[in-house]
Amino acid sequence: MYPSREVVGDVTMAQSIKCVDMHTTGEPTRIVYSGFPNLTGTLLEKRREASEKHDHIRRRLLWEPRGHWDMYGAVLIPETEHVASGNADMGVLFMHNDGFSMMCGHATIALGRFLVDAEEPVFPGRKRLRLNRDNSMVQLNLHVPSGILEITVPILPSGKSDVSRSVSFLSVPSFATGMSVPIPLPEAYRWPELGNRTSVTVDFSYGGAFYCLIDVEELGFPDRLVKPDLGRTSHATKLLKAAINANPSLTEFAKHPDVDQAGYLYSVMIVDAEQKHPTRIADGSFVGEETGLCFFANQQIDRSPTGGCVAARIALAYAKGDLALGQRWLYHSILSKSHAGIGGFAGSVAEVLPRAAKTVSPLGNSPQVRVRVEGQAFYTGMYTVVVEEADVLGKSGFVLNPMEGSRNGG
Ligand SMILES: O=C(O)[C@H]1NCC[C@@H]1O
């Protein structure tokens, strides 16, 4: 099955990295289950070590010629402090075009299926999987950099994951940090679609990572997200993110009360609350429906409705009083919207946490919620990474795209 030594040339197969590829509403997850260098310390320390010492491997795995600018990956970390204490069954580090992230919902949905299907050497914690025989669902806890996610995976009588039903996860405590916040835009940060305006109004919310949410018309696109111009919306959101990051009075909107490493703006999500679409994701009804276009990391575009941002948007809607405990909203990406609703994520408040004694955000000790996010993921391939010593481009990885020009991974 795997290429022979003769075929791949001077390659040490023993050092090769093994992956399974999946997608969640078109958003890829390259799941690395063996061959990544050993990492030490807590999961957050491992994340730092991966970023400081092994970033070239991230670029090799995700950038061209093996991936592309919008590729996403997850490295399984079977040993973490929460796995050791029994609070989690597996750990993971998430990778995107620009580094290692704190949270990823679409990858969590894919990992739920992958882990239930994986054999014990890949998933040593599988003997602790919790089965609910009444609804044929299995539960496991995943330790991600921003906390612990509780994943529920439907299974078949064979014990394998049931592709016909949605996977769901319970988010880390999620909360809004800013509502209707004016963002001043100095001249260097303005984009053409702003017209004469010198500021925009946005919301901020946390769902394992910090999101800035802006209405599509507020961004300057009156045609909404019907046929979005990806180049122009990317240009606008890049400048908006840069304006926020350059303004010291705005850093408080992306500050976590407990997790320092989460304290940065991960993404700008363009929200179109007007689009209504039929759904094929689930049988239940939805009280609200939105479409979004998510630019995250270095202007990477999420094909999926962005699970972490569903948690952030539900927390925001709950804080605004727009939805009640248990009510489900449906979230589309531009991909699910243009494919008759296939692949939309459902979100609902599963639990309202006791109010923290301390201030959690500029909004005060606003409500923190755990959000249930539902979606479906599919297998697309199995992949063994090999590298030939003589292959300079294949070793480093590179990107070639209209936004970045050509860049070598070094
Ligand atoms: O679903 C999510 O949460 C992720 N998808 C890519 C960007 C986010 O990390």
ipTM: 0.99
Q: Do both 197 and 131 map to the same domain? A: no
Whether residue 304 has its Cβ less than 6 Å from ligand 1:
yes
Instruction: Give the residue-averaged pLDDT of 109-133.
Output: 95
Ligand 1: nearest atom to the Cα of 310: 3
10 Å CB burial of residue 215 (0-12, 13-18, 19+) is middle
Percent of the chain with pLDDT over 90: 84
Residues in the chain: 410
> Of 172, 200, 215, which residue is a domain's last?
172
Pocket test for ligand 1, best of 296, 299, 313, 373 (most atoms within 8 A of CB): 296
Which single residue is written with the structure tokens 């999500």?
269
User: Would you say the CB of residue 306 lies under 6 angstroms from ligand 1?
Assistant: yes
Q: Is 90 domain-assigned? A: yes
* Rama region for 209: left / alpha / beta (φ>0; ψ in -120 to 50; rest): beta
Q: Given ligand 1 and candidates 71, 94, 102, 104, which is best to mutate, with the most ligand atoms within 8 Å of its CB?
A: 104
Q: Provide the pLDDT for residue 284.
A: 58
User: Which of 209-218, 340-349, 389-398 has the highest mean predicted lDDT (pLDDT)?
Assistant: 209-218
Asked whether the predicted pLDDT for residue 278 surpasses 50, the reply is no
Pair 180, 165 in one domain:
no
Nearest CA among 26, 114, 109 for reference residue 342: 26
Please compute Rg for the chain using Cα positions: 21
Q: Are residues 365 and 308 in the same domain?
A: yes
Please provide the average confidence, as pLDDT, over all residues in the chain. Answer: 92
Provide DSSP, 323-376: --TT--EEEEEHHHHHTTTTTPEEEEEEEEPPPPSS--BTTBS---EEEEEEE-
Exposed/middle/buried for residue 339 (C-beta within 10 Å: 0-12, 13-18, 19+): middle
**166: in domain:** yes
Answer yes or no: is 37 within a domain.
yes
Asked if residues 331 and 292 have their Cβ atoms less than 8 Å apart, the reply is yes
Catalytic positions, please?
104
Q: Are 365 and 97 in contact (CB under 8 A)?
A: no
Q: Are residues 211 and 295 in the same domain?
A: yes
Q: Quick check: CB of 302 below 6 Å from ligand 1?
A: yes
Same-domain status, 311 and 268: yes
62, 98: one domain: yes
Helix (H, G, I), strand (E, B) or coil at 184: strand
The whole-number average pLDDT for the span 226-236 is: 95
157 or 4, which is more confident: 157
Give the model's pLDDT for residue 287. Answer: 81
The protein residue whose alpha carbon is closest to atom 9 in ligand 1 is 104
Mean pLDDT on 362-387: 93
Single residue among 122, 143, 172 that ends a domain in this structure: 172
Residue 294 lies in a domain: yes
User: What angle do the packed helices 55-62 and 43-53 form, to 10 degrees?
Assistant: 80
Strand, coil or helix: 71: coil
Q: Per-residue pLDDT tens for 140-163?
A: 999 999 999 999 999 999 999 999
Quote the CA–CA distance of 109 and 234 in Å, as a whole number: 26
Q: Which residue has tokens 């078109």?
A: 26
Q: Do residues 333 and 216 share a domain? A: yes
Same domain, 151 and 119: yes
Where residue 297 falls (left for φ over 0; alpha for ψ -120 to 50; beta otherwise) is left
Q: Is residue 289 part of a domain?
A: yes
Range of the domain at 130: 5-172
In a shared domain, residues 149 and 189? no
Question: Is the same domain home to 100 and 168?
Answer: yes
pTM above 0.90, yes or no: yes
What the block records as the tokens of 325 is: 């405990």
Going by pLDDT thresholds of 50, 70 and 90, the confidence category of residue 339 is very high
The pair of structure tokens assigned to 105 is 């919902």
Query: Where residue 148 sits, what CATH number does that domain have?
Result: 3.10.310.10
Q: Per-residue pLDDT averaged across 119-123, rounded?
A: 94
Asked whether residue 128 falls in the same domain as residue 208, the answer is no
Same structural domain, 315 and 181: yes
Number of compact structural domains in the chain: 2
Mean pLDDT over 176-192 rounds to 97
Residue 404 lies in a domain: no
Confidence grade of residue 376 (pLDDT, cut at 50, 70, 90): very high
pLDDT in tens, 340-363: 889 999 999 999 998 877 777 888
Interval between CA 105 and ligand 1 midpoint (Å): 5
